[in-house]
Amino acid sequence: LLNNHKEIQTNLKFKKHFQANTSGTSGESLKFKREESADSFNRASIYRGYSWYNVNPWELNGYFWGYNFSERAMLKIRILDSLQNRFRIFNYRKESIDFFIKKLKNAKYLHGYSSMVYETAKIINSQNLEKPLNLKMVKGTSEKIFESYQDEIQKAFGQRMISEYGAAETGIMAFECPKGNMHLNMEGVIVEEIDHEIVVTNLQMHAFPIIRYQLGDYIKLAPKTATCECGMQHAIIEEVTGRIGQTVYGKNNTYPSLYFYYIFKNLASKQSFLLTYQVVQNEKGKLNFLIEQPLNSKQLLHLEHEIVVYFKEDMEFKIEHSQPITAQNKKLKSFISNIA
Ligand SMILES: [Zn+2]
């Protein structure tokens, strides 16, 4: 998309269009035009998801996003936020958190980076702060939602965090229903699973058409016969398993980063450990596993065992537990490779 975006961008004329941006996995951002009708359709698709929780988009909401802003940028953001009846947290300083939690009392929904929602839930629980009682929906986007988040979130906000799956290039692809299934936005996109990989066609965007686009996520679609208790007929996406294309380097071989997903999934299913993790590679043949939770020696052994199952003798690794990885004030990536 980056290399050919000029050719993809249509020369059709639209009454009105917007500039859209994506940060892109490569770090390079892609700019493209999206016509007003496609943009509105996309927003309506998201708001349909909200309606399943009786949430109206104009209701007061708390918002979590990255926040390395200058004073000037912050002022602009505050004005834009207030137009959308939205407030956000800019840092984890005590006065900011107190202010945010006070505002939460009247909020109807919360959304944004899942690691930040989780971090705030932990603060509410550990400091015994007043819990917001009026929330109808807590939604995580843009980051992996670790199952290990859900206990704290349930305790702080009285409900599980639900998931929305979308990308700037493709629009919204799925939204979780109150029965816990991710329903495809079938009126807006065609989603195919080919070799475990998602292939997306957007049905609205003509200014910058997206046709059978390999977005770069591994997914698992539910069988066509699967049904949901909520009664909706929309197909179900069982799982977004991870990003494609990041290579893990052993001493002799290379491995897909999806291995980390399996290692921690095995621990969850065999040992019922729900861990929040971040794996960092700075050198070939070596990995650093950062784990948020404290681990005892037995749990460490189980984790070591699972790592060896996948990487055998080809990888040295270090496990550091009790790491504050969700409090980094930025998007939490489950694998970071610093190998060029
Ligand atoms: Zn459902």
pLDDT of residue 7: 77
CATH number at residue 38: 3.40.50.12780
Residue 175 CA to ligand 1 center (angstroms) comes to 9
pLDDT tops 90 at residue 191: yes
Same domain, 141 and 107: yes
Residue 99's pLDDT band (cuts 50, 70, 90): confident
Domain-ending residue, one of 243, 271, 305:
243
Residue 1 CA to ligand 1 center (angstroms) comes to 33
Residue 207 CA to ligand 1 center (angstroms) comes to 32
Same domain, 149 and 251: no
Residue 235 CA to ligand 1 center (angstroms) comes to 9
Residue 29 CA to ligand 1 center (angstroms) comes to 34
Residue 180 CA to ligand 1 center (angstroms) comes to 7
Q: Any residues with CB less than 8 A from the CB of 285 and at least 6 apart, and which? A: 249, 250, 251, 314, 315, 316
Residue 14's pLDDT band (cuts 50, 70, 90): confident
Residue 204 CA to ligand 1 center (angstroms) comes to 24
Residue-wise pLDDT for 304-328, tens only, equals 999 999 999 999 999 999 999 988 7
Total domain count for the chain? 2
pLDDT of residue 89: 81
Residue 171 CA to ligand 1 center (angstroms) comes to 20
Helices (H) and strands (E) in the chain, counts: 8, 19
pLDDT tops 70 at residue 67: no
Same domain, 218 and 266: no
Residue 85 CA to ligand 1 center (angstroms) comes to 28
Helix-helix angle 297-311:258-271, to 10 degrees: 140
From residue 170, alpha-carbon distances to 30, 32, 200, 218, 225 in Å are 13, 12, 7, 15, 25
Beta-sheet pairing, 236-243 with 182-184: antiparallel
Residue 164 CA to ligand 1 center (angstroms) comes to 13
Percentage of the residues of the chain whose pLDDT score is greater than 90: 63
pLDDT tops 60 at residue 124: yes
Determine the Cα–Cα distance for residues 237 and 246; give it in Å rounded to an integer.
23
Of 86 and 24, which is predicted with more confidence? 86
Same domain, 207 and 296: no
pLDDT of residue 23: 58
Same domain, 204 and 251: no
Residue-wise pLDDT for 36-57, tens only, equals 999 999 999 999 999 999 999 9
Domain that includes residue 117, residue range: 5-243
Residue-wise pLDDT for 210-258, tens only, equals 999 999 899 999 999 999 999 999 999 999 887 776 789 999 999 988 8
